[in-house]
Amino acid sequence: MKTPLAWKNLVHNKVRTSIGVAGVSFAVILIFMQLGFLGGIIHTATQIYDALEFDLMLRSPAYLHLTEARSFPRSRVLQAASLSEVAEARSFYLGLSEWQAPASVPAVESAKTSEAIEEEGDWRAIITMGTDPKDPVFNRQEINDEARKLSDSTFVLVDVKSKSEYGPADDEKFSETDIGVETTLGPHRVRIVGLFELGTGMASNGACLTNPEGYVRACPWQTIDDVNFGLIKLKDPSEAELVRQKLLSIYGIPSRDEKSTFSLTAAALTNTDVEILTRQQALDREEHRWVHETPLGQIFTLGVWVALFVGVAIVYQVLSTDIANMMGEYATLKAMGYGAKYLTKVVLLQAVLLAVVGYIPSIIVSWGLYRLVEKLSGMPMNMTPGIAALVLALAITMCVLSGLAALRKLYQADPADLF
């Protein structure tokens, strides 16, 4: 049986190996966190889209991102509804309004005196959505059930994932105790009649849902005939591209090469008042916007490379020091007839073992940090199998690169130095 020399080298000096494992773990945790943040940005950017029921989306050609969607005539949605392939065509309103944290006193008491209104909290930007309560636009039954409570323009639902700064009764999270509380949304008073769970976006830490009339009350710069999204559900989702081409013809919009859609500017689309996207196109564009066109995605992508560089530097120091301290042993192996190929395998295997040993505590610590960050910030941090596998591959690559850099010292081992 061959002696596992690479493993023996690792366990020979436990202190030095522990330092190396700690260094690898630190770098791997950095990579995990950067990828987690990047994944959180992608998920947060598209989570509202994910909850909407549509196969095709109509939106303004001047669209910037979810909370800067701009608007287009609702008549375009009605035109889409006339096609035989369309099962439903619904209007959806979404924008940013202002929310005042409710008073800490009970709602019944707050209605008695004007002073009580003055006791209410600070104003915060809040994602405000509007949907028809008789025909909600969500693909989650529990949200649609709650949306049917929005029979009046003064009624709102509050997302339970809204932060504590939006004024829940227990100062932590919106719950059943907040139902019936009155506050101010935009320039008007509203009443919380229910709760839903969806998640906020990148532009705000809170979200609420109302009916179209309530949305216009909260965002008075927009009329009910100017919608932000048209959500089209098809009888056969596989016909999405066919129906899209039909709508382009109806609206008089020239067809464009989709390979260049990310580079299109609003100015290039000013000859039309609406654009049509498939579901996947809408998701891809929103992801592209936040990952590639904003500093957030670029920072975390750069963070992965920085973490790799740190890891390579740490592992190189560990391996090169280990080789330097065992130069006599390596020279002896050379004198015994072991060639450079064998010794290279030993060093690289040692590097891989260091990566694997350092990876095990890293994934455990990173999982705990994911849960902590998600709880404190509300950003979804998911330890997916894909992320775990990618980080393991990056950790091994990092350590192998360090091993290759350290081989220069190994090749300096000379049997003549033994005498």
Tens digit of each residue's pLDDT (9 = 90 or more) over 341-389: 877 888 788 888 888 988 999 999 999 999 998 887 777 888 889 999 9
Say if 113 falls within a structural domain. yes
- When mean pLDDT is compared across 184-193, 351-360, 386-395, 403-412, the lowest value belongs to 403-412
Same-domain status, 204 and 118: yes
pLDDT of residue 115: 45
Global confidence as pTM: 0.77
Same-domain status, 66 and 97: yes
3-class SS of residue 353? helix
Range among 19-23, 129-133, 292-296, 329-333 with highest mean pLDDT value? 129-133
> What range defines the domain where residue 401 resides?
5-43+294-418
Say if 286 falls within a structural domain. no
Would you say 160 and 176 are in contact if contact means Cβ atoms under 8 Å apart? Answer: no
Secondary structure in 3-state letters for 226-248: EECEEEEEECCHHHHHHHHHHHH
CA distance 292 to 294: 6
Extended strands (E) in 119-255: 123-130, 155-159, 182-185, 188-196, 207-210, 226-227, 229-234
For the chain, the average pLDDT equals: 84
Say if 287 falls within a structural domain. no
Helices (H) and strands (E) in the chain, counts: 13, 11
pLDDT of residue 114: 43
pLDDT of residue 309: 85
Tens digit of each residue's pLDDT (9 = 90 or more) over 196-239: 999 876 778 899 999 999 999 999 999 999 999 999 999 999 99
- Checking if the pLDDT of 107 tops 70, the result is no
3-state DSSP helix/strand/coil percent for the chain, to nearest 5? 55, 15, 30
Say if 279 falls within a structural domain. no
Same-domain status, 406 and 313: yes
Would you say 185 and 218 are in contact if contact means Cβ atoms under 8 Å apart? Answer: yes
CA distances from 382 to 50, 162, 223, 385, 387 (A): 16, 19, 39, 9, 9
Number of domains in the chain: 2
Same-domain status, 65 and 39: no
Would you say 113 and 259 are in contact if contact means Cβ atoms under 8 Å apart? Answer: no
What is the pLDDT confidence band of residue 301, given thresholds at 50, 70 and 90? confident
pLDDT of residue 257: 53
Say if 179 falls within a structural domain. yes
Six token digits for residue 411? 């090749």
Say if 156 falls within a structural domain. yes
CA distance 159 to 166: 10
- Checking if the pLDDT of 139 tops 60, the result is yes
Question: In degrees rounded to 5, what are phi and psi of residue 246?
Answer: -65, -45
